[in-house]
Amino acid sequence: MKLVITGADGFLGWHLRCYFFSHAEIDVVSLGRDDFADISKREAAVASADAIVHLAGMNRGDDQELYETNKRLMEELLAACETTQAKPHIIFSSSTHVARDTAYGKSKREAGERLLAWAAAQGTPACVLILPNIFGEDAQPQYNSAVATFCYDLATGKESVVNVAAAVTLIHAQDVARLIHEAISARAAGEQRVAGTDTTIGTVHAKLKDFFEQYSHDLFPLLATPFDLALFNTLRSALYAHGFYPRPLAARSDDRGQLFEAVKQRGGGQMFFSHTKLGFTRGNHYHGRKIERFCVIAGTGEIAIRKLFSDTVDRFVVSGDAPVFIDMPTFYSHTVTNTGTEDLITLFWCNELFDPADPDTFPDSI
């Protein structure tokens, strides 16, 4: 299957690309802003597409520009389909703001109506997903979601402005990606309203603040629900971006030697050790939900971490002489390499037990 994603460089576009990265049966064509603006590239992409996920849009800015931009982007997509005589299954990312009489709400509502009318005339399915507030890793503070802003504030030591009583419905970006995949597989048509987690802004901020307070004191918080795990992984992505890692382990010393507390966690998980020979590397994979801790306790090595679809590799020299830990961000490929003169011993910890039927471990070389 050939799947075209418009707005592929945006927050949800990146998450959708991450989701499909492990699906070898789907050929993903990414159209970022510049590619979509190029008529020849736009038409070439849609000409043989089996499905299109239309994420390209504007959600902040001058009202008139915002309204016109979102409608224009839909018209440009449909024009490309007509020019190439393509009739792909189109999934449109809309918003609960369609119920509001704002420039953004009207633009999303009218773009969705235009798509469904076009699809009916062409005899091809199209689906408009009415999505609640989306949060997740790599979101921009003050732009994508309040969750991103709160995480940024905690990571940088800023005070957040919190509308404590405000109600909000939240959904993680990977849950949206899964729903889009299901809609494509089912060739879903019409308007579909997507449920999320109903909560308040105050509750979300309090959770994130509590997670941060525990984690900054090297205590791994209890993550009782998938929603809590998604919130915590979003927080960790902001912490990683602002230099939270590597984290030194406090040594307790006496005449016998030293003791390090490598993991303190309120839930459980799984711990294991590896013995790596000189010059060898472990890893070259990433995770979509689970948290994996690397801690070298003997020897000298290098931990390398790279965000999916990025060419930038962060490298950290680590040693058993001064143990530190790094909790791998989700959707970042990672390795540990023995760069020393003796065998490397690494402690690994994961917040969940390994399940061969659902390993959440995907190969990707640094």
Question: Is the pLDDT assigned to residue 262 strictly greater than 90?
Answer: no
Instruction: Give mean pLDDT, residues 251-257.
Output: 84
The torsion of the CA quartet 146, 148, 150, 155, rounded to 10 degrees, works out to -170
What is the structure's pLDDT at 47? Answer: 97
- Amino acid occupying residue 97: H
The model's confidence at residue 130, banded by pLDDT at 50, 70 and 90, is very high
Among 184, 141, 157, CA closest to 49: 184
Return the pLDDT at 266.
79
Residues 331 and 297 in one domain: yes
Rounded percentage of the chain residues whose pLDDT exceeds 70: 100
Structural contact between residues 297 and 340, judged by C-beta atoms closer than 8 angstroms = no
* pLDDT tens per residue across span 74-103: 999 999 999 999 999 999 999 999 999 999
- pLDDT higher at 148 or 266: 148
Higher pLDDT pick, 260 / 92: 92
214 pLDDT higher than 90 = yes
Average pLDDT over residues 60-73: 96
Question: How many structural domains are present in the chain?
Answer: 3
The verdict on 160 and 94 lying in the same domain is no
- Whether residue 363 is predicted with pLDDT greater than 90 in this model: the reply is yes
User: b vs e for 303-329, b when ≥16 Cβ sit within 10 Å of the residue's Cβ?
Assistant: bbbbbbeeeeeeebebbbeebbbbbbb
pLDDT value at 213 more than 90: yes
Report the pLDDT value the prediction gives residue 152, as an integer from 0 to 100: 98
Expressed as residue numbers, the domain containing 14 is: 2-131
pLDDT at 40: 98
Q: What angle do CA 112, 49, 28 make, to 5 degrees?
A: 100
CATH code where residue 327 lies = 2.60.120.10
Q: What is the CATH number of the domain that holds 30?
A: 3.40.50.720
In this structure, the answer to whether residues 15 and 33 fall within a common structural domain is yes
pLDDT per residue over 295-317, tens digit each? 999 999 999 999 999 999 999 99
pLDDT at residue 216 in the model: 96
342 assigned to some structural domain? yes
| 27 burial type by CB count under 10 A (0-12 exposed, 13-18 middle, 19+ buried) | middle
Three-point CA angle 314, 5, 194, nearest 5°:
100
211 & 286 share domain: no
